[in-house]
């Protein structure tokens, strides 16, 4: 792995006595999509603002593209694009005029401006409404215009705060595709969200925030192993004269087999055991009707994690 583009060490933010971000440490590698997950108020946006030098750091250290955003925010902001939560534009200006203003603020040379602006608008499929006032735009179009701004900037890191909240499903899918497009161009993407299935769909790694701390971090599969225990659940639907449970249990890697109904089996395994399971059914002369593997869903991980935490807190209370 190359040197991280974002590196936080014990990053802390306090407002008076309240600690909003409490000593978090994480690295983001170049070219990955990193998800910041967690309930509202868990410190995701504050962390983002500290990365951009838009709010002061109370403790710890953060480096973005090898710059210190506290001391040299301009160098960071020149190379990082930010799409805020519920991004706003000047409603009385057209989409193109809005971007032209930020293009000048970015310091894009005058001769490149028009081309980069129209390219960016075409990228997010807003070219045909470029001369319409932003007041007439839907939420999805505004988000896409915000993304166009990042594209126009030629940002190396794109920080997107809740980019898909409030979008309809179609707009969400389109937006996620555009995010993946950024990744293909080598842009590092930092995505904050509380919409778990979307994060799971696009993110390489996620960090789960709670109460200002990162409580879990890693790929979705890693989190699943940590939280849900053994990895995969394989479901088999098959008819057979002989008992399949024993045969399934004999497959190496299978930890347990549960039978539900007459012909359904749930296998919990360390790895994907579908080929072996199929072979076992065929060997028993059975009729295999369905064979599926449950991907560990971030939703399940999330729910289980907070459930476990709640029960352990309850346990602690009972003991006390």
Partner 1 sequence: MRREGSPWQGLGPVFVKELSDHISSVRMLVLEILIIVIACAVVYVAIDGIRQTTAEDPFILLKLFTTGGSSPLSLLVILGFLIPLMAIALGFDAVNGEHNGRTMSRILSQPIYRDALLAGKFLAGLATLAIALLCLWLLVVGLGIIFLGVPPGGEEVARSLVFLLITLAYAGTWLALAILLSIVFRSAATAVLVALGLWLFLSLIWPLMVPGFASLISPPDPRYVLFGLPTPATVEWEHMLRSISPNELFNGAAISLLAPDTRAIGTVYMSQLQGAIMGSPLPLSESLAIAWPQAVALIAGVIVLFVAGYVVFQRQEVRA
Contacts of 38 (CB under 8 A, 6+ apart): 44, 194, 208, 209, 210
Site for partner 1 in 106-135 (CB under 8 A): 106-107
In the complex, the smallest distance separating the C-beta of residue 85 from partner 1, rounded to whole angstroms, is 8
Q: How far is the CB of 134 from partner 1 (least distance, A)?
A: 10
Q: Which C-beta is closer to partner 1: that of 20 or that of 280?
A: 20
Q: Which of 52, 152, 178, 203 binds partner 1 (CB under 8 A)?
A: 52
User: ∠ at Cα 55 (53, 58), nearest 5°?
Assistant: 105
What's the CA gap between 21 and 9, in Å, rounded? 12
What residues have CB less than 8 Å from 295, skipping those under 6 apart? none
In whole angstroms, the minimum distance from the beta carbon of 191 to partner 1 comes to: 16
Which is nearer to partner 1, 157 or 223 (by Cβ)? 157
Closer of 149 and 174 to partner 1 (Cβ): 149
Least CB distance to partner 1 at residue 52 (A): 6
Helix or strand run (H / E) with residue 280: helix 274-283
Least Å from the CB of residue 76 to partner 1 = 8
Closest by CA to 189, choosing from 25, 12, 48, is 48
Q: Residue count at the site for partner 1 (CB under 8 A)?
A: 33
Residue ranges in 136-195 that form contacts with partner 1 under rule CB under 8 A: 146, 149
Interface map 77-106 toward partner 1 (x if CB under 8 A):
xx-xxxxx-xxxxxxx--------xx-xxx
Q: Which is nearer to partner 1, 80 or 202 (CB)?
A: 80
CA-to-CA distance for 6 and 13, rounded, in angstroms? 17
CB of 245 to partner 1, least distance (A): 56
Token pair 């970015």 is found at 106
Give the Cα separation of 207 and 198 in Å (integer).
14
- Secondary structure string (H, E, C) spanning 191-246: EEECCHHHHHHHCCEEEEEECCEEEEEECHHHHHHHHHCCCEEEEEEEECCCCHHH
Compute the least distance from the CB of residue 72 to partner 1, in Å: 4
Strand pairing partners for 254? 269
Nearer CB in complex with partner 1: 90/314: 90
6 scored as a contact of partner 1 (CB under 8 A): no
Stretch that binds partner 1, among 35-43, 51-59, 110-118, 170-178 (CB under 8 A): 51-59
Closest to partner 1 by CB, 106 or 236: 106
Candidates 71-79, 109-117, 248-256, 264-272; binding stretch for partner 1 (CB under 8 A): 71-79
Name the phi and psi angles at 65, rounded to 5.
Answer: 50, 40
Residues in region 9-48 near partner 1 by CB under 8 A: 45
Segments of 42-152 assigned E as strands:
59-64, 80-83
Q: C-beta of 161: minimal distance to partner 1 in Å?
A: 9
Please report, to the nearest 10 degrees, the dihedral formed by the alpha carbons of residues 37, 154, 184, 131 taken in order.
90
Residues of this chain that bind partner 1 (CB under 8 A): 45, 49, 52, 54-55, 70-75, 77-78, 80-84, 86-92, 101-102, 104-107, 146, 149
């Amino acid at each position: 792995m190359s040197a991280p583009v974002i590196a936080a060490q014990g990053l802390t933010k306090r407002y008076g006595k309240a600690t909003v971000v409490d000593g978090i440490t994480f690295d983001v590698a170049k070219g990955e999509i990193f998800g910041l997950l967690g309930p509202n108020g868990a410190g995701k946006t504050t962390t983002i603002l500290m990365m951009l030098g838009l709010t002061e750091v109370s403790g710890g250290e953060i480096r973005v593209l090898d710059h210190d955003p506290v001391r040299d925010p301009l160098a960071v902001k020149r190379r990082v694009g930010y799409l805020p939560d519920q991004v706003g534009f000047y409603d009385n200006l057209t989409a193109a005029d809005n971007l032209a203003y930020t293009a000048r603020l970015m310091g894009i040379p005058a001769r490149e401006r028009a081309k980069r602006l129209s390219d960016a608008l075409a990228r997010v499929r807003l070219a045909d409404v470029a001369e319409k006032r932003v007041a007439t735009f839907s939420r999805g179009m505004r988000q896409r215009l915000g993304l166009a701004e990042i594209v126009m900037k030629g940002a190396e890191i794109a920080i997107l705060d809740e980019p898909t909240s409030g979008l309809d499903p179609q707009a969400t899918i389109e937006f996620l595709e555009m995010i993946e497009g950024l990744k293909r161009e080598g842009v590092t993407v930092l995505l904050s969200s509380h919409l778990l299935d979307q994060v799971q769909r696009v993110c390489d790694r996620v960090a789960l925030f709670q109460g200002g701390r990162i409580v879990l971090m890693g790929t979705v599969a890693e989190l699943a192993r940590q939280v849900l225990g053994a990895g995969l659940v394989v479901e088999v639907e098959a008819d057979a004269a002989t008992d399949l449970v024993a045969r399934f249990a004999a497959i190496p890697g299978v930890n347990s087999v549960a039978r539900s109904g007459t012909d359904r089996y749930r296998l919990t395994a360390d790895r994907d055991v579908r080929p072996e399971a199929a072979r076992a059914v065929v060997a028993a002369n059975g009729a295999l009707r369905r064979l599926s593997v449950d991907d560990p869903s971030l939703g399940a991980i999330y729910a289980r994690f907070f459930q476990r935490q709640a029960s352990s807190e309850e346990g602690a209370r009972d003991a006390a």
